[in-house]
Structure 1
Amino acid sequence: MFLGLDIGTSSVKAALFDGKDFRTVKTFYANGADQKVLDTSILREAIVSVCQKLWTELNVSPQEIEGIGLSGHGPSIVFIDQDGKELSPLVTWQDNRAEQEARELATLIPGFSKDGTSYEAKLLWFHRHENQYFEKGCTALYPKDYLLYLLCGKRVVDSSTASTFAFYARTEKKWNEAYVPVPCSVLPDIVDSWVETGKTGTPFSKLCGFSDTTPLFPGGIDAYCGAVGAGAVQEGIVVEETGTSACLSRCFSSRKGHDDHVLPTLSLTMQVISLSGGAFEWFSNLMGKTDMRAWQEAVDPARPEALLFLPYLIGERSPIWDKKASGAFLGLRDTTSDQALFQAVMQGTAFSLYQNILILEKDSSTIEEVRMVGGGSKDAKWSQMKANITGKTYLAMQETNAAATGAALVAAFGSGSLTLEQIPSLVPVSARFEPDKQAHELYIRLFRQYEAAYGNLASIMHALSDIQEEIRQ
């Protein structure tokens, strides 16, 4: 039996894999979700809580677990000192305080085009503003690497995650010190995602209830482990993982992809949308409703609303990488209802996904189908709408907590209990959504306007962002 633990934006998830089936549990953070900064004590409490659910709700004995794989969100960062004490809270991927540093890095590192949410820019910001975090023995860790440290005391980052950093030399598998704008000593050692890195036995692992000497595998970023959880271990498979944000990945059977996969001989190209499922929560709160079922039931995926919604509520990463981009509704009339606005949110987030699918197609051949995981894959109306908008077949995977299940599969692979070829058969499809050609033609007319909207509104968005900043000051 193998365990996957996933550090999410709003919760910690655990998935047990017994060689055939998966069972999952989750614990939400105590003081709410989707924060830019999370107190590490809240994270630790959620990890302990989800482990307790393993032993009680799933009736599993710690001795049964043969390996633990890890997954988590990023680019996020937490600093620990030489004794392992937390120096900082967990600063998540949503935090964009390092915008100035990102602009500077673009002049120092060839090809660097990321914004202030990036790991590289965050490192430089903290070096300038919290220089004590870079004293001898201090380390900057991703959330899942922080968890690995808590469980076994090792300070590492997996090679898949490292391959997303601009100062990682991918061929040599080491840090390119010429591009690192801070002391290299703060960076953890690099190990492969599927290689046993340590064993449980720390006070924290005992608090979680684990037996000593359980092997630990570093896994990778949630979207990369989620690709494994959806069976993306073969050339060309595309996965959409939608929760608060959304990630689209395409698997390659060589190093043609932009980043290394969490399993050997594979690579990935990844596109990230800052806010996808989170846009629905925002709209529901705006309308003063906690239950969206009535809106969802009234949607006909084959009948578009002639409204546009730009989902840039916290800026955007792909395809525009613009911190100052902001959300917008276009096409409002005095007859527009909340139902119509809700459907516009569905359409706008799906249009954003389609934009990124088109980018993935530029890297290789035409995409025929998309595998869905994450909370968004449970919405049949939205899934059918995505199929209609993109003209692609959408497949909802049976197990939606793909990051945690993927981490468990990485541990099983690393232990030698399964092969790459066996993974696709372990992650079955639960539903299939075929595109409606007539609806697709209507949606494409709207999509063309969606594509044009950002370019026409960007200068206004930027001006409003600057005025908002002046008012806050």
Structure 2
Amino acid sequence: MSSDLIMAVDIGTTNVKLALFDTEGKKLFHFERQCKEDVSNGKHEIDPKKWWTAFVRGVHATDEKLRKNVRAICASSQGPTIVLVDTEGRLVGRAIGWLDSRGQRHVQFLRAQGIDEQTASATAKLIELKKVLNGKVYLLQPADYLILKLTGRFVNATFRQYGYSPWYGEILDKFDLSETFIIPELVEPSKVVGKLFEDVARRLGLPEDVIVVAGAPDFAAALLGTNTLRPHVACDRAGTSEGITLCSDVEVHAPGLITTPFFIEPLWKISGLLTTSGKAIEWMASRVARFRSVKGLSLSNVKRPTGVIFLPHLVGERSPYWNPKLRGILFGLNLDSNAKSLIVSAAEGVAFAVRHIVDEMRKAGAKIETIRTTGGQATNELWNQIKADVLGMNVELVRPDAELFGCAILAISCLNEEPFVQVAERLARVKKRFVPDLERHELYNELYKIYLELHDRNMDLFERLRG
């Protein structure tokens, strides 16, 4: 067995994660450090140097003997998050998070031009940023910033198909943004970007011949890490926020969802995005139920369904509404409601939101046979079971760290000169399957109807509340 190791990195909305894998996919080390954004008046910002500091600490936390066997580094990251650097590679201000509300007033106009919601949101921020910038700047994602620090190269590490980058030259040209913003050279996942700077290698205690391999956006890395690479399988990437991505053999377009080519031709990617899912459960646990943490909290004895319906839209919602004015609702409270039952109701509300996206996919003509889950929520068996019961379909757990594992798959593909689809098929395996309780599913069906109706009946009130 080869002693070569892969260093995988994932820069998330809340945490920077780093792991070491061998070339057979076994994880030998895991590190996690919190790097929260600063939030104020709709602005979500972070100093990218925090990501670099967390990465350095993660590397130094590894055993020195393991570090000597690292042969490749590969990274993914959340987004669209805007990291601006000048032509000398110096940071220009703080990174702008995907939850940032700047430019929101432009989104409706951009969508009317035929631009999908996700790209419209990123472009709207650029329209506002242009007003305060002097000179040209490069557009980077968090993982691209890490690559710049490691190799000195400006790259846009993503798949070439539409839907995997937050910015495109033709869109920048159309809205007079190309004189300010530079999109770096595209480098496709699993391709070599370059070698480490010698001084960086010495500082990190890594071999000087370590290569940096292009990763992919976190949602795409998760598709690889869960082996969601064939039709009729969906990946539920469930963390602070949530993304449900279906691999489809037919092109269908559903209201409020995003359809773009899959990175494996001729398949299609149909996606729905939730803004606050795990964050909403965490909020319920800490701010309402007043528990220090939901981790380790025993909730298995809570009666399900709870009968309390929770709308988890604490800072607006993306799919399928794309309405920043939506807010949370607790409906059906009674004298039996208690702290633990409210936490479970939050998990049920997130599951209803996931089902809404799945139902819209099916209404449009897409077929879904199973869902594979990953991310922080996937570590909680109760939440996985709630999703299975609400959806009425199997929920499969491959591994909760699919973004990291997806990066490892891309690096292994590069080192072994083996197609990444083949590597994923060989190494990604379903570890546990959550089968729906059909009696509970029928009860959840009735509550789900009320969940949908709560939106319809309160849309005008949301508008008045946020007006």
TM-score (norm 1): 0.87
Matches of 1:70 and 1:306, distance apart in 2: 42
Q: CA separation of 1:366/1:71 partners in 2, compared to 1, >3 Å: closer, same or farther?
A: same
Aligned to 1:464: 465
User: What is the CA-CA distance between 1:465 and the residue it aligns to?
Assistant: 1.7
Q: Identify the residue that residue 155 of structure 2 maps to in structure 1.
A: 156
What is residue 55 of structure 2 aligned with on the other side?
A: 47
Shift of residue 403, structure 1, vs aligned partner: 0.5
Structure 2: how far apart are the matches of 1:462 and 1:311? 17
> Map of 1:108-127 to 2, 5 A cutoff?
109-114=113-118, 118-127=121-130
User: Structure 1 residues 333 and 179 mapped into 2: Cα distance closer, same or farther (>3 Å)?
Assistant: same
Pairs aligned (count): 448
The 5 Å alignment of 1:24-423 reads: 24-29=29-34, 32=36, 36-56=44-64, 59-62=65-68, 64-107=69-112, 109-114=113-118, 118-128=121-131, 130-132=132-134, 135-136=135-136, 138-160=137-159, 163-164=162-163, 168=168, 175=170, 178-183=173-178, 185-201=181-197, 203-204=199-200, 206-252=202-248, 258-261=259-262, 267-286=268-287, 287-292=289-294, 293-294=296-297, 296-300=299-303, 303-362=304-363, 365-397=366-398, 399-419=399-419, 420-423=421-424
Residue matched to 2:255: none
SS in structure 2 of the partner of residue 457 of structure 1: helix
Q: Distance in 1 between matches of 2:156 and 2:343?
A: 40
CA distance in 1, matches of 2:190, 2:267: 12
Deviations 1:429-455 (A, max 9, x none): 222111111111110100011112112
Contact 1:160 1:261 in 2 (8 A): no
Q: Determine helix, strand or coil for the equivalent of 1:60.
A: helix
Distance 1:180 1:254, change over 3 A: farther
CA separation of 1:16 and 1:387: change in aligned 2, threshold 3 A: same
Q: CA RMSD in A?
A: 2.6
Gaps of 5+ in 1: 169-173, 467-473
Matched to 1:160, the amino acid is F
SS at match of 2:436: coil
> Residue 9 in 1 paired to residue 13 in 2?
yes
- Cα distance in 1, alignment partners of residues 28 and 250 from structure 2: 32
Q: Distance in 1 between matches of 2:126 and 2:107?
A: 10
Letter of the aligned partner of 2:21 in structure 1?
F
Higher relative contact order (CA 8 A, sep 6+): 1
Change (3 A) 1:202 1:92: farther
Q: Contact 2:232–2:370 (CA<8 Å) still a contact in 1?
A: no
Deviates more, 1:269-278 or 1:291-300: 291-300
Return closer, same or farther for 1:431/1:406 CA change in 2, 3 Å cut-off: same
**TM-score after normalising by structure 2:** 0.88
Deviates more, 1:284-293 or 1:37-46: 284-293
Could you list the runs of 4 or more consecutive aligned residues of structure 1 that deviate by over 6 angstroms after TM superposition? 253-257
Structure 2: gaps (5+ residues): 253-257
SS at match of 1:219: coil
Counterpart residue type for residue 157 of structure 1: N
* Structure 2 SS opposite 1:268: strand
CA displacement at 1:351 relative to structure 2: 0.4
Whether the aligned pair in 2 keeps the contact of 1:34 and 1:244 (CA below 8 Å) is no
**3-state SS in 2 of match to 1:139:** strand
Query: Cα distance 1:37–1:209, how it changes in 2: closer, same or farther (>3 A)?
Result: farther
For residues 286-319 of structure 1, the C-alpha deviation after alignment (integer angstroms, 9 at most, x for no partner) is 132114344523234xx31221100001111111
Code of the aligned partner of 1:449 = I
Cα distance in 1 for residues equivalent to 2:438 and 2:336 = 29
Contact 1:260/1:267 (8 A) holds in 2: yes
Between stretches 214-223 and 20-29, larger displacement belongs to 20-29
Describe the shift of the 1:403–1:263 C-alpha distance in structure 2 as closer, same or farther (beyond 3 A). Answer: farther
Q: What amino acid is the match of 1:297? A: S
Query: Which range moves more in the overlay, 188-197 or 219-228?
Result: 188-197
Q: C-alpha distance in 1, partners of 2:349/2:221?
A: 27
What SS is found at the alignment partner of 2:215?
strand
Counterpart secondary structure, 2:247: strand
> Would the alpha carbon gap of residues 110 and 259 (structure 1) be closer, same or farther in structure 2, given more than 3 Å must change?
closer
